[in-house]
Amino acid sequence: MNQVDYLRISLVDRCNFRCHYCMPEGAELDYILKQNLLTNEELLILIKEVFIPVGFTRFRLTGGEPLLRPHVVELVKRIASLPETQDLSMTTNGFLLAPIAQDLYNAGLRRINISLDSLEEDTFNQIIGNRGRSKWRQVWDGIQAAYNVGFDPLKLNVVVIPGVNDHEVLDLAALTLDKQWHVRFIEFMPVGNGDLFGNKGWVASEELRQQIRARWGLTESQVRGNGPADVFQIPGAKGTLGFISQMSECFCDKCNRVRLSADGWLRPCLLNETGQIDLKTALRSGISITKLREQLQELLTVKSEINFKQRYSGTATGNYSRTMSQIGG
């Protein structure tokens, strides 16, 4: 196991998209009431007094859609200003990004991941569950704004879905040729959406690499990421291609992260609900900070067993209590 020093923080469980791989189609989601969300002050207490003393130095803000969180720029500024923060990043769908990209950068955010599952408006709208005005252009504007502001690396996340957007793999890979963009192909995961998984499955990363290799060639990149992606590069390209292969190529041994939900549940493994801790309730009930640190340290001690021994727990039936959007990815 790598040292676990990376916390993914879900700021809100709501999203302005309804992507099929993130929210089961037709499902009625029980959104968290405002009073049950971690407040900014509670979140900062947990970061400063629990996670940082245990060794966490890298933080990623996620959702749902994190830009729906009120006062998100101020929260970014406060986390970035902590002297122990070595890395602060965000994952967003980009729809609300363009007007505040500069503000986020000025607040201290330096790395950003933006979801871009298709370059075709109709396919894009199909994936995000959009039945009204197309949202593709606003997302593309958000990507351009982030690029112009200077976010580096700028990563574009692509969940490849058979029969939906897998025909665009080469077009999406080509985005790395002339710009220092980093496209990351992600195997679809059946978290909270087993029906879609069972019907359509996922495309193995090696199949995608073979397509790209046949078109341009492909070499292992000298650029290494902070996460589970295997990084490659088209010869002569300015950007890189990452492949996150959680279904076809287990990377549990490289996992360096835990996840904090918007309502304060700490989850040691994305694919497994074992071992979660309710930090919000503990904090509000007056449990000492020392005790919370001890609980976190105990969880980190058994994380490797949760990752390996029970990796497939729940995946055979899609029996998860929360969808991907509610977990924070």
pLDDT digits (tens, 9 = 90+) for 5-29: 999 999 998 888 888 777 666 555 6
Query: What's the rounded Cα separation, in Å, for the pair 46 and 264?
Result: 10
Pairing of the two strands 154-160 and 181-187: parallel
Summarised one tens digit per residue, pLDDT across range 240-259 is 999 988 777 777 777 889 99
Mean pLDDT, rounded, of the chain: 86
CB of 267 within 8 A of CB of 208? Answer: no
Higher pLDDT, 247 or 96: 96
Query: What's the rounded Cα separation, in Å, for the pair 202 and 247?
Result: 8
Q: Average of pLDDT values for 278-301?
A: 96
Query: What's the rounded Cα separation, in Å, for the pair 280 and 69?
Result: 18
Q: Name 181's bridge partners.
A: 154
CA distances from 64 to 84, 232, 251, 277 (A): 26, 29, 24, 20
Band the pLDDT of 197: cuts 50, 70, 90.
very low
Summarised one tens digit per residue, pLDDT across range 112-125 is 999 999 999 999 99
Does the pLDDT of residue 299 top 70, yes or no?
A: yes
Q: Average of pLDDT values for 129-138?
A: 86
CB of 101 within 8 A of CB of 146? Answer: yes
State the pLDDT at residue 117.
95
